[in-house]
Amino acid sequence: MKDYLVLRVVSKLLIMFMILFALYVQFHGDFGPGGGFQAGVIIAAAIIFYGIIYGLPAARAVVPSRWVEIMIAAGVLVYAGVGVAGLLLGGNYLDYFVLDHNPVHGQERGIFWVEAGVLITVSGVMLKIFYMFAGRGRDAEDDA
Amino acid sequence: MTPALTILLALAVPLIGAVLIAAAHRAPNVRETITLVTAGLLFLLVASLTPLVLAGERPEVTLLEMMPGLSLKFKVEPLGMLFGLIASGLWIVNSLYSIGYMRANDEQHQTRFYVCFAGALASTVGIAFAGNLLTLFMFYEALTLVTYPLVTHAGTGEAKRAGRVYLGVLVGTSMVFFLPAIIWTWQVSGTVEFRPGGVLHGKAGNMALGILLALYVFGIGKAALMPFHRWLPAAMVAPTPVSALLHAVAVVKAGVFSVVKIVVYIFGVNEIAGLKSVDWLPFVSGFTIIAASIVALRSDNLKRRLAYSTVSQLSYVVLAAALLTPLSVIGAALHIATHALGKITLFFAAGAIYTAAHKTEVSQLAGIGRRMPWTMSAFAVGALSLIGVPPAAGFISKWFIMSGAAEGGHFLALAVLIASTLFNAAYFLPIVYMAFFCKPDEESMAHAHGEAPWPMVAALVLTASATIALFFFSDLPLQLARQLVGRL
Amino acid sequence: MNLAGHFSYWITILLAITGLYIVIARGNLIKKLVGLGIFQTSVYLLYIAPGKLIGGTAPIIDGQFTLYSNPLPHVLILTAIVVGVATLALGLALVVRIREAYGSIEEDEILELDKTGVFPDTTTSKPA
Amino acid sequence: MIAQHFPVLQVVLPLIAAPLMILLRRGTLAWLLAVIVSWTGLFISLSLLAQVADGSVISYAIGSWPPPWGIEYRIDRVNALLLMLVSLIAAVVVIYSRASVAAELPAHQHYLFYTLFSLCLAGLLGISATGDAFNLFVFLEISSLSSYVLIALGRDRRALMASYQYLVMGTIGATFYIIGVGLLYLMTGTLNMADMAHRLSGVTEVRPVLAALAFITVGICLKLALFPLHLWLPNAYAYAPSAVTAFLAATATKVSVYVLLRFYYSIYGESAVFSALPMGKILLLLSLAAMFIASAIAIFQADLKRLFAYSSVAQIGYITLGISFDSATGLTAGIVHLFNHALTKGALFMLLGCFVLRLGRVRFSDIGGIARVMPFTSFGIVLGGLSLIGVPGTVGFISKWYLVLAALESGQWWIALAIVLSSLLAVVYVWRFVEAAYFQEPDAGIAQLKEAPLEMLVPAWLMIAACFYFGLDASLTIDGAAQAAATLLQGLQ
């Protein structure tokens, strides 16, 4: 699809807004519908969109496979890290109350990082799935 | 040394011996020395307990608690003492014989053979000294498993098939009948200990007692009560020392020993005497005596004939126990000892004949007594003992069993015993006659041979002499047997 | 009334049975996964539908509302959906690998191939 | 201070370790991490077991949201035992797995293997630890999804199909479970098990609650491979990498049994399941069918891993048989067999893995006379087989003793007979191995094999030794099981 000029231009324009929208969904998740899952999928969709238009190698150049793997792991670690932080600050596991002097702020801070972790992992997983299925049979060697 | 320690050592010594034997697999002489030393030590340990038991003590030791309320426990009582003495004493002789046999026949895997043998003896001692049914069962199964490599020693297809029968019957009966019987006993009486007077009295109904007894006597497949006797002839593919010690002494005697022990200490002789639900046992054992005798009579293979003779003789013990009179129980205990001596002699002789002359069939034995006078004389002594002719020990036990049968008014049993004596004579005496008074056929004239190697001859002469000696010096076994039924 | 009032359950049951039927009756491995997905979807409905209160609004606290729907089923089912997606992705990945190893995604053909007794080693031919 | 967080750390440590392994990317480093995590887990589980030994219950509120609103981790004598079992098996298998995985998987997959292993471990521990019915589902899926992948790592292409079948069956099972939990949630408005039990008491005969019981039973029985629902198990165990088979065979089905026990006894209550419903009879019949049919099928297998997989189905029958008696003794028998069988099968599959290491597969036709060249592996399998048969001195005997005792106590002597008869079938299949390994002349290919490396043999033999230790001195396991049974029978307070 690299030859369709309209697609190429429009996609480049759209992707910015997609990511922006994802960030909105992400950060508005505390107060309204939204959150890490949805935002993660939207971000992944933006990059997958790019990959579909410009081809898989181009997408991989933007977000290399290795990064994707790191994202998957890092997101889970962020999530788990919030839990451990709760432990270290004297609460129970995943206790957000203790993350700040004010328990309500603690809750907000906790959920912020948790959602961040979810975002990273979900977008990583979505991309990984896309890379895996799309790359299957095409580049059997370079992908491990 | 405390008695408890002695008991534990008696169990440990053959096991340590087994390890050392395995370690010395590169040096046959060292290996066989260890075997002999272990056997000697074991006998000394067992014998050192005898005065205590005769004095009325019952040394015991509890090793560990297997399950709540169920321990691994050893307790030496007269019957176990007698059995332990015989098994460990004959192991010395048998080791001597094995060395000659295994070397002369150039057998494979000799180390494995000696290791398993030591293991078998450890299990036998465990059975003899078992203080409760659980311990007995454990060593009973261990004995089956550790003798399996001995039975299948040759590794041939025939040995493999024999091993299947051996394992199938012994494990099958013990798992399907013996184990549930033990658990049932535990459930109704809350104990599995051997106690004088039994533990079931008043705990189980008559019907239940009858079923339990059936589960026990058929579950103890090593007692070779028909129809679970097939393993014993099958096991004859093993090398002769195995047949001699294990399938004339240790294994089969472990079976009948367990039957007697269970009848005496779990059911209680007086407690079940006269019960309708248990009076079928003399018939089953009587049938086995006669039927096995007939098969023995028709077998031409010498070891097979001896095997069926063993089946028949084992049922003497079961029958004697089943008559439930004090005299017959004494006879049962004595018969364990006298048959052991007699039958091991016969097997030794069969092995010597095989080693020296490579003959396995009865019909080939014409005139062999002239070439192997020691062997065949010993054979004659063993045969006389089994028939029950006086200067041999078999007479004593048979006497007690018959007195017991008469005392209890079991005339059918008496008839069976008399008939069986005739059968015994019919299948043993012709061999002795042929060996000494017939001319050898031409084929056996063709290749000359003398006696078997000296360790074998020494061993069989020793057991034959012991058979005679036991007749004249029967105090010790008699005392132990009398203690068993409380008649001092 | 009763029948109509329980219509969400009827749909749930219909979906569940349809899904299970597809899983059992279809030999195509992908169609089986589709059936599995439908089956799982029925569960989502089972949870979500009773969480809705007639007249209730989204459970975001605001002064002008007093009646809220139960948010917990949504949270649960969000989790269940993620699990479902993961299962589906894994299942499809397996189908891809199966297709590479056997050259077919029809169950009967694969079982037929297994009967031939030729079992090539798949570790060498696969990237990840 | 840290000890109060043990219930959650037990689960979270392997969960955190898994992504770390992805970041590490090196097989050896990942393995080291897995070793550290699983041995720490073992330590934690032992400490938990000691804490609840007096009958107390540890309740841990995740996120400090008090139950029944938040997710509660609830450790009592039942699941502390399970946690200990799973951690123990994991700790042993992880040592074993290094050499086995190195031989069976390509190098670039090693770190992924340990990642999945940790995830699976976290899932199984989570199932055991959690006191929340929905959280249990999540952990069930974490462990299941990772085990599907682990199975698909098998060398044989049939592993893919096995994994696919397990995925379909397992998902159906988990979905059935979640339908059941959904119905319960609709009826009680709670997902916390203790709270659920409290609200259900007295109303268990309501139809949706009964339907929920049916769904949960079928779903979990699929996972635990109760007889007619066992079809996924033989292939999955047979074609998975050896370390995976050893780990899953020893833990996955056992944890499912725990879930069943939890629902039957703690949530529904013993009388609701066994008195009001004929669940005991159903379980009894299915267990007997498993014991006989699966054992009979096992006898005719050409592949040893499949043989022991079918044997697992049969042994699961013994566990559920114990449960079906609905008595303290029966339950004790079931739980103690759960533990004992985990030890035995873990050891057996680990030893089979030693053959796989040298031969690539373990068909009877390939192992003729192998005892000559791999004596320790072969003898270990014989000893493990003796435990399967239930020879006295092994753990199998202890289980059998209690099962027969429970059967006799319930007055059903024919079940006792069935138990001992079915164990004879085990003699047959174990002896097939003995005759193949010991009575055949090794061919040229076999004769040049070497014994498996010590790092595989030692863990396997440790398990074999445990089979004999707990067979000779079972007071520890019996006490644990009896207390767990008592806890279950008295229900959740």
Provide the token pair at D256: 């499912």
Average pLDDT of chain D to the nearest whole number: 90
Question: In what helix (H) or strand (E) does residue D60 lie, and over which residues does it extend?
Answer: strand D58-61
| Helix/strand/coil percentages in chain C, nearest 5 | 65, 5, 30
Q: Which residue of B has its CA nearest to D382?
A: B145
Q: Which residues contact C74 (CB under 8 A, 6 or more apart)?
A: C48, C51
CA distance A17 to chain C (A): 25
| Total Cβ atoms within 10 A of residue D108 | 12
| Residues of chain A neighbouring D12 (CB-CB closer than 8 A) | 80, 83-84, 93
Q: What is the pLDDT of residue D386?
A: 92
Q: By the CB < 8 Å criterion, does A89 face chain D?
A: no
**Pairing label, strands B70-75, D72-75:** unpaired
C-alpha C85/C-alpha C101 separation (Å) is 24
Residue B193 bridge partners (DSSP): B132
Q: Domain residue spans in chain B?
A: 296-488
Tell if the CB–CB gap between D16 and A95 is shorter than 8 Å.
no
C-alpha D356/C-alpha D365 separation (Å) is 13
Q: By the CB < 8 Å criterion, does C128 face chain A?
A: yes
Q: By the CB < 8 Å criterion, does A90 face chain C?
A: no
| Total Cβ atoms within 10 A of residue A32 | 11
**Residue B228 main-chain phi, psi, to 5 deg:** -105, 45
Compare CB distances from A140 to C58, C82, C127 and report the shortest one's residue: C127
Tell if the CB–CB gap between D390 and B68 is shorter than 8 Å.
no
Tell if the CB–CB gap between D158 and C86 is shorter than 8 Å.
no
Residue A88: is it exposed, middle or buried by C-beta count within 10 angstroms (0-12/13-18/19+)? exposed
Each residue of A56-108: pLDDT tens digit?
888 899 899 889 999 999 999 999 998 888 888 888 888 888 888 888 888 88
Q: What is the pLDDT of residue D96?
A: 92
Residue A142 lies in a domain: no
Compare CB distances from D424 to B65, B164, B175 and report the shortest one's residue: B175
C-alpha B355/C-alpha B139 separation (Å) is 33
C-alpha D478/C-alpha D219 separation (Å) is 29
Tell if the CB–CB gap between D19 and A73 is shorter than 8 Å.
yes
Q: End-to-end distance of chain D based on CA atoms, in angstroms?
A: 27
| Total Cβ atoms within 10 A of residue D33 | 23
Q: Domain residue spans in chain D?
A: 285-493
Q: What is the pLDDT of residue A140?
A: 47
Each residue of D143-187: pLDDT tens digit?
999 999 999 998 888 899 999 999 999 999 999 999 999 999 988
Tell if the CB–CB gap between D475 and B186 is shorter than 8 Å.
no
One-letter identity of residue D124: L
Cβ B87 vs Cβ B250: under 8 Å:
yes
Residue D435: is it exposed, middle or buried by C-beta count within 10 angstroms (0-12/13-18/19+)? middle
Residue D118 bridge partners (DSSP): none
C-alpha B245/C-alpha B347 separation (Å) is 9
Which segments in chain B show pLDDT lower than 50? 488
**Residue B279 main-chain phi, psi, to 5 deg:** -85, 10
Compare CB distances from D155 to C43, C46, C121 and report the shortest one's residue: C121
Each residue of D399-433: pLDDT tens digit?
999 999 999 988 888 999 999 999 889 999 998 89
List of domains in chain C: 2-115 (1.10.287.3510)
Task: Specify the residue for token string 């998740």.
Answer: A29
* Domain range enclosing A115: 5-135
Which segments in chain D show pLDDT lower than 50? 493
| Most distant CA atoms of chain A, gap in Å | 59
CA distance B149 to chain D (A): 10
Q: What are the helix and strand counts (H, E) for chain D? A: 21, 2
State whether residue D71 is helix, strand or coil. Answer: coil
DSSP label of D426: H
Question: In what helix (H) or strand (E) does residue B75 lie, and over which residues does it extend?
Answer: strand B70-75
Cβ D118 vs Cβ D13: under 8 Å:
no
Q: Which residues contact D301 (CB under 8 A, 6 or more apart)?
A: D307, D310, D429
State whether residue B198 is helix, strand or coil. Answer: coil
Number of domains chain A contains:
1
Q: What is the pLDDT of residue D318?
A: 93
Question: In what helix (H) or strand (E) does residue D75 lie, and over which residues does it extend?
Answer: strand D72-75
Q: What is the pLDDT of residue B4?
A: 83
Residue A10 lies in a domain: yes
Residue B64 bridge partners (DSSP): B72
Dihedral sign computed on CA atoms, order D176, D139, D467, D486 = negative
Tell if the CB–CB gap between D392 and B138 is shorter than 8 Å.
yes
Q: What is the pLDDT of residue D1?
A: 65
Q: Which of D6, D9, D12, D118 should we substitute to test contact with A (largest number of A Cβ atoms within 10 Å)?
A: D12
Each residue of A85-99: pLDDT tens digit?
888 888 888 888 888
C-alpha D196/C-alpha D180 separation (Å) is 13
Q: By the CB < 8 Å criterion, does B183 face chain D?
A: yes
Q: Which residue of C has its CA nearest to A139?
A: C127
Provide the token pair at B414: 């008496």
Instruction: Count CA atoms closer than 13 A to B219's CA, side-chain side.
Output: 27
Each residue of B155-189: pLDDT tens digit?
788 888 888 888 889 988 998 899 999 998 888 88
State whether residue D362 is helix, strand or coil. Answer: coil
Burial letters for B424-456: b for 16+ Cβ neighbours within 10 Å, e otherwise? bbebbeebbebbbeeebeeebeeeeeebbbebb
Q: By the CB < 8 Å criterion, does A124 face chain D?
A: no
Residue B72 bridge partners (DSSP): B64
Which segments in chain C show pLDDT lower than 50? 1, 123-128
Cβ D213 vs Cβ D276: under 8 Å:
no
Mean pLDDT of A26-45: 84
Q: What is the pTM of this model?
A: 0.91
Q: What is the DSSP string of A26-95?
A: HHGGGTSS--HHHHHHHHHHHHHHHHHHH-HHHHHHHS-HHHHHHHHHHHHHHHHHHHHHHHHTTS-TT-
Show which residues on chain D lie within 8 Å of chain A, measured between beta carbons.
5, 8-9, 12, 15-16, 18-20, 22-23, 60-64, 108
One-letter identity of residue A137: G
pLDDT band, very low/low/confident/very high, at A1 (cuts 50, 70, 90)? low
